[in-house]
Chain A
Amino acid sequence: QQPVQSPQAVILREGEDAVINCSSSKALYSVHWYRQKHGEAPVFLMILLKGGEQKGHEKISASFNEKKQQSSLYLTASQLSYSGTYFCGTEVNNAGNMLTFGGGTRLMVKP
Chain B
Amino acid sequence: DAGITQSPRHKVTETGTPVTLRCHQTENHRYMYWYRQDPGHGLRLIHYSYGVKDTDKGEVSDGYSVSRSKTEDFLLTLESATSSQTSVYFCAISSGTGDYEQYFGPGTRLTVT
Q: Which residues on A are within 8 Å of B, measured CB to CB?
A: 2, 29-30, 32, 34, 40-44, 47, 49, 87, 89, 91, 94-104
Instruction: Sample 27 A-B pairs with CB under 8 A, ordered by A number.
Output: A29-B98, A34-B104, A40-B106, A41-B90, A41-B104, A42-B43, A43-B104, A44-B101, A44-B103, A47-B99, A47-B100, A47-B101, A49-B99, A87-B42, A89-B43, A89-B102, A91-B97, A96-B50, A96-B56, A97-B31, A97-B98, A97-B100, A97-B102, A99-B43, A99-B45, A100-B59, A101-B43
B90 touches A42 (CB 8 A): yes
Report A-chain residues with C-beta under 8 Å of the C-beta of B96: 97
Among B45, B98, B103, the residue within 8 A (CB) of A49 is B98
Q: Which residues on B are within 8 Å of A, measured CB to CB?
A: 31, 35, 40-45, 48, 50, 56, 58-59, 90, 94, 96-107
- A40 to chain B minimum Cβ distance, whole angstroms, is 8
Bound: A94/B98 CA distance, A: 6
Of all chain B residues, which has the CB nearest A47?
A: B99
A103 touches B90 (CB 8 A): no
Bound: A89/B103 CA distance, A: 13
Report B-chain residues with C-beta under 8 Å of the C-beta of A42: 43, 90, 104
Report B-chain residues with C-beta under 8 Å of the C-beta of A41: 90, 104-107
- Known interface pairs A41-B90, A47-B99, A99-B45; 11 further A-B residue pairs with C-beta atoms within 8 A, sorted by A's residue number: A41-B107, A42-B104, A47-B100, A47-B101, A87-B42, A96-B56, A96-B97, A98-B45, A100-B45, A102-B42, A103-B40
